[in-house]
Amino acid sequence: MVINGTTIAPGENKQVVFSQYELPSQSVIETPAYVFRSVNAGPCLLLSAGMHGEETNGIETLREVLKHESLQNLLCGTVIIIPIINVVSFIFNQRELPGGRDLNRCFPGTRNGSLGSRMAHDIMHNILPVIDFGVDFHTGGAKINNYPQLRCVFDEPKHLELAKLFAPPFIINSPYRDGSFRVEASKRGKIILVFEAGESLRFNNTAINEGLQGCLRLMKNLNMIAPVDLPQSRTILIGKDKWVRASEAGLFRTHKKFGAYFEKDQVLGTISDPYNKSEVNLIAPDNGFIIGINNQPVVHVGDALLHIGIEK
Ligand SMILES: [Zn+2]
């Protein structure tokens, strides 16, 4: 296996730089990938995080995977770990790149394009060709907290098959978005699943643990690592999802437990005015699960408040 000119032989574990670029100060930012190869042939799995620089749960999850002893003795195949794809945004605690571009809308990128376009190109050119499939780790943006969930396209049977080996609490049918890593990988026959858990700039132990356990389950189910003791998991398939939005402006509270099941017409939350003159209830439009919550208490009319998932 060769990544950006560095050869990694079977049985070798190596750190390789797959992308580098210069800041205006002339400092060079190098983006490392950690490659673990077994002597035995097998699948090549990519685990990546930090596409959005403020999504720290994924970065912490992959740090936990990196320190797990099972990686040192892979039974077969290759695991490539990129804890921080977008180092520049990570340094600044930002979602976007300098200039405001979203790296996950820059794919497939070009060699001579903007910073985001070059970073996307380096992943497509140096990493994607050597992998078979991967999981890209994200968290909710803004003040959105996502219950641990894998997103994939249900119409593509192999996606769901792979997602079930990860066995997260929820697997959600999620169409492709233009310019994303996921869609451009699929055009080249590679499956990228997106794991979403927690919110930006805040560690969430449930999110990090579910991410770590999912990675270990996936590698165990692919016979890449020796059996590890993992808690029993139940996965719910979500065929449809929608947002319950604010019908009024005011202070928002939810009464439901995160990830919990609810039934149609139940009260999911309340919006009150700050002077306690009025209060409106948010009513469940269907039976479903709370798969995402807006943690911002002050809301405007139309704000997305609760992301609900309807079981397939
Ligand atoms: Zn993200």
Q: What whole-number distance in Å separates Cα of residue 88 and Cα of residue 278?
A: 46
The per-residue pLDDT for range 122-177, each reduced to its tens digit, is 999 999 999 999 999 999 987 899 999 999 999 998 999 999 999 999 999 999 99
Cα(35) to ligand 1 centroid in Å equals: 23
Please give the pLDDT value at position 32.
98
Cα(199) to ligand 1 centroid in Å equals: 10
Percent of the chain with pLDDT over 70: 100
Please check whether residue 16 is in contact with residue 7, taking contact to mean a CB–CB distance below 8 angstroms: no
Please give the pLDDT value at position 202.
93
Please give the pLDDT value at position 142.
76
- In sequence order, which residues have a C-beta less than 8 Å from that of residue 157 and are 6 or more positions away? none
Q: Over the chain (312 residues), what is each successive 10-residue block's mean pLDDT?
A: 97 97 93 98 98 97 96 96 97 93 97 96 98 97 92 94 97 97 97 97 96 97 94 92 96 94 97 95 97 95 97 95
Mean pLDDT of the chain: 96
The per-residue pLDDT for range 185-207, each reduced to its tens digit, is 999 999 999 999 999 999 999 99
Cα(41) to ligand 1 centroid in Å equals: 32
Q: What length does the chain have?
A: 312
**CA proximity to 89, closest of 79, 78, 100:** 100
Please give the pLDDT value at position 232.
79
CATH T-level assignment (fold) for domain 2-221: Aminopeptidase (3.40.630)
Cα(6) to ligand 1 centroid in Å equals: 29
Cα(206) to ligand 1 centroid in Å equals: 18
| Unique residue bearing structure tokens 């749960």 | 57
Cα(104) to ligand 1 centroid in Å equals: 8
pTM: 0.96
SS3 at position 289: strand
Please give the pLDDT value at position 141.
84
> Any idea where the domains of the chain sit in the sequence?
2-221, 241-311
Architecture of the domain whose range is 241-311:
Beta Barrel (2.40)
Cα(138) to ligand 1 centroid in Å equals: 4
Please give the pLDDT value at position 151.
97
Burial class of residue 29 (count of CB atoms within 10 Å of its CB; 0-12, 13-18, 19+): middle
End-to-end CA distance of the chain: 40
**CA proximity to 224, closest of 9, 13, 38:** 38
Whole-Å CA distances, 234 to 158, 168, 300: 20, 8, 36
Residues with CB under 5 A from ligand 1 (ion): 52, 55, 138
